[in-house]
Structure 1
Amino acid sequence: MSSPKTFEAQTECVINCLLEDFLNPTSITNRTLIYECETDAGADSSFDVAIIAGRLRMIGDQYNKEVEASAQEFITEFRRGQVKFLFLSIAEAVLQHTVKSLSQALCAQDSTLACEKAQLGVLVKLTECVAKKAPELVSQLVTAMTRMINGNEIRGFIQSQGGWVSMLGAWLC
């Protein structure tokens, strides 16, 4: 299968695969993922969304303790925002605030850690925690996650490392 052409389309594929993995772990493990990405005939055929999603989980797993402690607070704030305002922008604001706060604390503890990598890892781990504790909320995070990753900071980091396809190699360290 060839990869989607744009960074945004690749991000959407990666997020959908990641969320499928969180909600139905055996579908990725057994490589029976039904999700199909739109493809372009001339695009890079080395884009394996399941492997990339797995690598993102590895990054997120580095932040287990830090994120799991904040997950319930995030879920409570997320639900409060959804009920009170019913706007996705509130959910995005809660997600961004939580991810940035946690990643800044991690970066303050480790000056060698790229804050954008920490944001990506925290975002992935937080989403995994939400999938385990409140799976009904995960689908509401898709747009917020996509926008956060496609935003300047995380997107710039991913692209400076060679893009999503390069996740298959060295930039995990």
Structure 2
Amino acid sequence: MAPNIKAQTESVVYYLLADEDECDRSYGDVESDSKEAPGDFDPVIIADRLRTIGDALNKDQSFTKAIKDLTEAVTEEAVATVFEQSVETLCETYVSREAALAPELQLIHASVALGLYLKKNSPALKDKVRNAMSNFLNSRVSRWVAQQGGWDKVPVAM
């Protein structure tokens, strides 16, 4: 059976946006329904791998506009809406440069870049961004992540 992708996604996003003091590996109970060996899924390691790609879009004009829109959003619903629109805009710009990259990876990369930037520059939005990012990734890429065999099997490197 497949791993619990929703729980994996929430755990990966948690550690991706966590402060150092939050990285004690005790977030949630991420269980797998698969027969993989215990310990195959490590959200901290996956978050670290994703973090390495976070700076790729920071200088893009679309990225700058997306950040401005996100920092102006106040409610959690507004953050979620703007987050989704911003990721899609970034992917449209990014797709012409990285056409060989799977669309799902483009969504993941753009989400990671936005999330990390906001964590660093607008820490008050961290919880709202964490929720928006988890919901976005679960709704947009969870099926693809499941097809890969879970987050620990996703080829996140560029």
TM-score range (shorter-chain normalised) is 0.7 to 0.9
Query: Cα distance 1:41–1:112, how it changes in 2: closer, same or farther (>3 A)?
Result: closer
Residue of structure 1 equivalent to 2:63: 70
Which of 6, 9, 29 is matched with 2:7 structurally?
9
Which of 137, 148, 156 is matched with 1:161 structurally?
148
Larger gyration radius, structure 1 or structure 2: 1
- The percent identity for this pair of structures is 25
| Structure 2 counterparts to residues 73-88 of structure 1, below 5 A | 73-82=65-74, 86=75, 88=76
Q: TM-score, normalised by structure 1?
A: 0.74
Which of 87, 94, 98 is matched with 1:99 structurally?
87
| Structure 2 counterparts to residues 54-69 of structure 1, below 5 A | 54-66=48-60
Q: Distance in 1 between matches of 2:31 and 2:135?
A: 23
Question: Is contact 1:81-1:90 (8 Å) kept?
Answer: yes
User: What is the letter of the counterpart of residue 28 of structure 2?
Assistant: C
Question: Is contact 1:107-1:118 (8 Å) kept?
Answer: yes
Query: Cα distance 1:75–1:171, how it changes in 2: closer, same or farther (>3 A)?
Result: closer
User: What is the letter of the counterpart of residue 146 of structure 1?
Assistant: S
Answer yes or no: is 1:51 the counterpart of 2:42. no
Question: Is contact 1:131-1:137 (8 Å) kept?
Answer: yes
Q: Distance in 2 between matches of 1:41 and 1:55?
A: 21
Count of residues in correspondence between the two structures: 153
Q: TM-score, normalised by structure 2?
A: 0.80
Question: Is contact 1:11-1:150 (8 Å) kept?
Answer: yes
SS of residue in 1 equivalent to 2:7 = helix
Q: Distance in 2 between matches of 1:163 and 1:149?
A: 13
Query: How much is the aligned-residue C-alpha RMSD, in angstroms?
Result: 2.6
Q: Distance in 2 between matches of 1:41 and 1:77?
A: 37
| Greater percentage in helix | 1
Question: Is contact 2:17-2:126 (8 Å) kept?
Answer: yes
Question: Is contact 2:119-2:125 (8 Å) kept?
Answer: yes
User: What is the letter of the counterpart of residue 66 of structure 1?
Assistant: D
Question: Is contact 2:67-2:114 (8 Å) kept?
Answer: no
- Segments of 5+ residues of structure 2 without an aligned counterpart are none
Shift of 1:90: 1.6
Query: Cα distance 1:62–1:100, how it changes in 2: closer, same or farther (>3 A)?
Result: same
Answer yes or no: is 1:172 the counterpart of 2:151. no
Residue of structure 2 equivalent to 1:126: 114
Q: Distance in 1 between matches of 2:156 and 2:108?
A: 13
Range with greater deviation from structure 2 (156-165 or 91-100):
156-165
